Amino acid sequence: MTKINHLKYLILRSPDTRKMADWFINNLSFSPLRQDQSEDTMELMNGNCHLLLQKVNSEETTSDDRYAGIDYIALSTWDIHRALRHCEGLDLVTDGGEPFSNNSKNGEDSLYFYILTPFHFRLRISESAGSRKKGVGPIICGLDHIGIATTDIEKTVTFYADLGGKLLKDSPTLKASSHCSMMLGGLPFEIREDSNRSEVERTIPSAIYGMGFHVRDAAATEINGVNGEKLLFEPQPTYDIVAIGESLIDFIPLKSKTDDSLDYSGSVGGAPANVLAAAAKYGLKTAFIGKVGADSFGSLILNVLKNSNIDTTTMQTTKEHPTTLAFVSLDESGDRSFSFYRNQTADVMIHPDEIDEGALSSCRIFHLGSVSLTCEPTRSTTHHALQMAMQNGAIISYDPNIRELLWGDLTEMKREILRVMEFADIVKVSEEELFFLSDSTDLQEGMLALRDRYDLCCLVVTLGDKGCILLYNGEFYQHPSYRVDTIDTTGAGDSFCGSLLYQLLKEEDFRRIPAEKIPGILKFCNAAGALATTKYAAIPSLPTEEEVQLLIHSQL
């Protein structure tokens, strides 16, 4: 039996998945992973708690004597008071009539309460002192454990042991016990024997059929349990950064020989790909999730990304849609504006089932922007990838990188961009983007507004030739830019962002960087961003670490 080491899905089966989904969405802020889900199978996510709802026929909802159904599912939260306020009006069940109690220890001084569901099992919400405070959704951190009520504890334990479960109590005491704990897929199961239940209670209610789980390990193996459980073992690649989004051809204007012609030089671009290329220059292992056309432009993109040491095995190629093109206009100072050819092009038409979830299973950072949020199906696909990365504990890096021409409605643009901000750990914006998103015209006031609203750990605003300002752990840090001969600002922000992620990954814990290290990090990022403006196009202009250090030391 292959050792199971990580839970991936909690599967609930019901004759009415829509009713069940609506309850989780309306009462606990779960979100659908895709907008186009059928009611036969629906996926919901809150934080890293992933529910897979499967529709079954009503006549399938009878349990045998081994399984009387789920007693409760335990979920953790980083702020039980916030969760309690959010659940106001629901039927809360506690041991002593209080809204929460500290009689249960899940970490230090953990609190908990129960919520009765319409599905004849309870949700136990507990506060976990060691949980991540950000990147895990507004309420739920994830699954803590599952309680199962059974009419025969020995048979139930045997069933889960056959699937690789490990009994956490001594086997000889099992016969004399009405309660035991098992570990399966990195998740504890509390199994309680209740032989006194009536025949009606021993039948799983029609609102819910049963539970299952989807787990992974280093071997590619599938096991199907006799009670509907599906165990999936899959390889776990390791990446420093995985990004999703657009990879396209940027056409940069050259000086025309005559007034009635245009000369352009095409090069590979797209903000998420640029960020990965910048990070790969420093030796980080990166992978890109995207889609290109089966045309000469798509071939160029794949070749350039491969040559930039970006893993492209996670990318899709299609004959049905062309590669996206962007035409850049430069003013006298090198600042640029864009014209996009992106109507149903390849990067827009990537679907959730084309995502390589293996790349998201163990990446340290998941990076995204807002261009992939502009329309469907790329919007749902991006949210799907985001939730997968969060479920697997990735740090979430977000550069909104606003392109107004790609949005039909600025209100929708702001709503969708801020929707992702809820899950971000690291955010980089320009000064103009900050003012738009925060509704403030004051730099520090706007930064504080975003930090407080979305509980951001690291918020940095790039200020062009004025450098940058960082809000980190409640403190502001500002650093000026470097003097260079700027000819094209394309990719400067992406060079800054890739350099920032590189610097943060060098730290043992990016949330607890000593204050004295911050200026050095900003120096490095500003220098990298400045150097990217000294050449045309994005990826060709990205500097090496040696070039960055040389610029820093030349202007001490």
Structure tokens at 235: 């390889």
pLDDT confidence of residue 174: 57
pLDDT confidence of residue 219: 55
Structure tokens at 434: 């900050």
Q: Do residues 477 and 459 make contact, with C-beta atoms less than 8 angstroms apart?
A: no
Q: Do residues 425 and 419 make contact, with C-beta atoms less than 8 angstroms apart?
A: no
pTM of the shown model: 0.66
In order along its 556 residues, the chain shows pLDDT tens digits of: 455 556 677 888 888 888 889 989 888 888 887 777 888 889 888 877 888 888 887 655 554 444 556 778 888 887 777 777 778 778 777 654 444 444 443 334 456 788 888 877 788 888 765 554 444 456 787 788 888 877 777 877 887 777 677 887 554 455 556 788 888 777 788 888 776 654 444 444 455 666 676 665 555 555 554 444 555 555 455 799 999 999 999 887 776 656 677 788 888 989 999 999 999 999 999 999 999 999 999 999 999 999 999 999 999 999 999 999 988 776 666 565 667 889 899 999 999 989 987 788 778 899 999 999 999 999 999 999 998 888 777 899 999 999 888 898 899 999 999 999 988 999 999 999 999 999 999 999 999 999 988 889 899 999 998 999 999 988 999 999 999 999 888 889 999 999 999 999 999 888 889 999 999 999 999 999 999 999 988 899 999 999 999 999 988 7
Question: Comparing C-alpha atoms, which of 249, 299, 340 is closest to residue 538?
Answer: 249
C-alpha 242/C-alpha 357 separation (Å) is 11
From first CA to last CA, the distance across the chain in angstroms is 60
Structure tokens at 478: 């500002």
C-alpha 421/C-alpha 456 separation (Å) is 8
Question: Comparing C-alpha atoms, which of 153, 84, 140 is closest to residue 115?
Answer: 84
pLDDT confidence of residue 380: 93
C-alpha 539/C-alpha 212 separation (Å) is 45
C-alpha 80/C-alpha 339 separation (Å) is 47
pLDDT confidence of residue 451: 92
pLDDT confidence of residue 125: 86
C-alpha 46/C-alpha 57 separation (Å) is 27
